[in-house]
Homo-oligomer: A and B are copies of this chain.
Amino acid sequence: MDADETGLRARLVAAGVDLVLREGQSAVSLREIARTAGVSHGAPRRYFPTHVDLLSAIAREGFADLTARVERTLRDADPDPRTQLTALARTYLDFAAAHRGMFELMFRHDLLDSGRLRLRETSLPLFAVLADLVAQACRPTDAPAAVLAGVLWANLHGIAQLWAWGSLPLATGATDDDALLRAALDAHLGPARA
């Protein structure tokens, strides 16, 4: 993606992605990544001045992966906006559940350099897709579509996070997040099949 596919830079990022997917966020130490990539603990410094820079590059891969999954899902789904939004939401929650470590890392702003690596901006294309679909699908309101989309995103994100934490299953008694997802979409877009 950033040229230099076979170089150490790419190998380090790949090793980090592997690690965070397999072992979770806490396992992704700089030295462990270096070991996984088969180099000394000082080698990453040549490409990533600090641990934060390397983690940010790993998180970028996560955002790219999520974005690609969403785009694939939307391409395969019925073009009806409501259906597309449901598919997007399902993909978001599934990603969070299946790649929990990566999902955590992606939103650990204390571990990432969101400024210099334009990390927040990395999630914007995904948000633009969401905002566009919301503008098409939502029932008329007085709030700007961007705000509605932001609130919907926040809802998906909150469900993913509180579900992973165990609070939401405990509080709602639900055994999977599907009821929550449907309730959220109904709330933000109006009852299903309107």
Contact = CB atoms under 8 A, between A and B. Distances in A.
Taken together, the copies of this chain in the complex come to 2
A121 to B, nearest CB: 8
A187 to B, nearest CB: 5
Contacts of A180: 147, 150-151, 154
A10 interface: no
Contacts of A124: 170-171
A104 B108 CA distance: 10
Interface string A173-194: 1100001101110111001000
A153 B149 contact: no
Interface string A143-163: 110111111011111110111
Nearest 9 pairs of A and B residues by beta carbon: A158-B158, A154-B158, A150-B172, A157-B158, A155-B155, A154-B159, A187-B187, A127-B171, A143-B183
Interface of A: 24-26, 104, 107, 109-110, 114, 120-121, 123-124, 127, 131, 141, 143-144, 146-151, 153-159, 161-168, 170-174, 179-180, 182-184, 186-188, 191
